Structure 1
Amino acid sequence: MSEEKFVFDSLQDSETIKAFLASLTEGFEKGSITLSTNGDAIELKPDGLLNFIVKARKKGTENKLSIKVEWKDAAKLKKDTDEKLKVS
């Protein structure tokens, strides 16, 4: 099983993050999200049911908001479920 990984870590103002989240929303609507920076890129195709997790934490002056979306590629899922059970 091959793995593609994309990581982007930087300080941004809230307006820039808002624009990024709007682009993500458009990607979900189109069914295709492409992330790229400095020659690295990954294309994701969200489809079907997606696992959606939101976590928030406040500890003193530190705040954290995590949003995680996971899914399996529909084509690979179909391939895995194409096998038929035989009972004899």
Structure 2
Amino acid sequence: MSEEKFVFDSLQDCDTIKNFLVSLTDGFDKGSITLSTNGDAIVLKPEGLLNFTVKAKKKGTETKLSIRVSWKDCTGTRDVNETPLKVS
């Protein structure tokens, strides 16, 4: 089984990150997300039930927000978490 990996790490302002997140949600709507930079690219095809994890942490002056979405490329059924996430 081959592995494809894509990593992008940089400092960005809030507007740039907001635009990235809008593009990401558009990709979820279309069923295809393409990430590319400096000649590296990966195409993701999210479908079915996706595992969604949000973590937030504050320690001193450092704050971290992590959003993770994962799935298996094969389709199947899984239990859906009934507790809704609230974002404000």
By the TM > 0.5 criterion, same fold?
yes
How big is each residue's C-alpha offset from its partner over 1:27-75, in whole Å with a ceiling of 9 and x where there is no partner? Answer: 000000000000000000000000000000000100000000000113x
SS at match of 1:9: coil
Report the equivalent of 1:62. Answer: 62
SS at match of 1:24: helix
The structure with the largest helix share of the pair is 1
Q: Normalised by the size of structure 2, how large is the TM-score?
A: 0.84
Give me the CA root mean square deviation.
1.0
How big is each residue's C-alpha offset from its partner over 1:3-27, in whole Å with a ceiling of 9 and x where there is no partner? Answer: 0000000000000000000000000
Q: Normalised by the size of structure 1, how large is the TM-score?
A: 0.84
**Identical counterparts, % of pairs:** 79
Structure with higher Rg: it is 1
Can you give the 5+ residue segments of structure 1 that lack an aligned partner in the other structure? 79-88
Divergent runs of 4+, >4 A: none
SS at match of 1:67: strand
CA distance in 2, matches of 1:40, 1:60: 36
Paired AA for residue 52 in structure 1: F
Aligned length: 76
